[in-house]
Amino acid sequence: MTAGGPTVEVLGTEECHRLLREGGVGRVAFPGKESPVLRPVNFLLVEPRLIIRTGEGMILEAGRRGLPASFEIDGVDPLEHTGWSVVATGRLQEVPEGWSDNSLPLRAWASGVKDRFVALELHNVSGVRIPSGRGNR
């Protein structure tokens, strides 16, 4: 904690998993040829993995290569100056072609063919929350 700033609360593993279970849109980062690659993705937690819907391209190739990756989601309330962030690390893994579970609420957001899935094995999950900063303005 910095003088006059909000206290950062470390989130427990169960709270991090609860926030991941809500699904939505996050960002996946993995090594690229010349610099790290960072992409927004929609995802779903199917423990012990995050499932990412994608198509042919860099994310699928990273899964085929089993690259290490980080994944981040967050939530903020700019009026209340509160927020939280969850980061997961692990290795990407291509999910076999033809795998699909239509009961999963994981639909493509972007246009184009997005009929492939990549999983991120959750090796480490951590998170923080910044509580209300109203008293720190």
pLDDT tens digits, 90-115? 999 998 766 655 556 666 666 666 77
Query: Which CATH number, 3.30.450.40, 2.60.40.10, 2.30.110.10, 3.50.50.60, labels domain 21-102+111-136?
Result: 2.30.110.10
Residue 115, classed as helix, strand or coil, is coil
Q: Identify the residue with better confidence: 111 or 84.
A: 84
Instruction: Record the tokens describing residue 17, joined without a space.
Output: 């998993």
- For residues 65 and 21, what is the distance between their CA atoms, to the nearest angstrom? 26
Domain ranges for the chain, please list them.
Answer: 21-102+111-136
122/20 Cα distance (integer angstroms): 11
Average pLDDT, the chain: 86
Indicate whether 63 pLDDT > 50.
yes
Q: Looking at residue 1, what is its pLDDT?
A: 43
Residue with tokens 């980061």: 87
Taking the C-alpha atoms of 85, 89, 93 and 97 in order, what is their torsion angle to the nearest 10 degrees?
-10
DSSP conformation class of 137: -
pLDDT confidence bin for 116, thresholds 50/70/90: confident
CA distances from 129 to 19, 76, 95, 114, 115 (A): 11, 10, 32, 33, 34
pLDDT per residue as tens digits for the range 14-48: 999 999 999 889 999 999 999 999 999 989 998 88
Dist CA 105 CA 124 (whole Å): 24
The span from the CA of 120 to the CA of 137, in Å, is 39
The single residue listed with the structure tokens 């893994």 is: 93
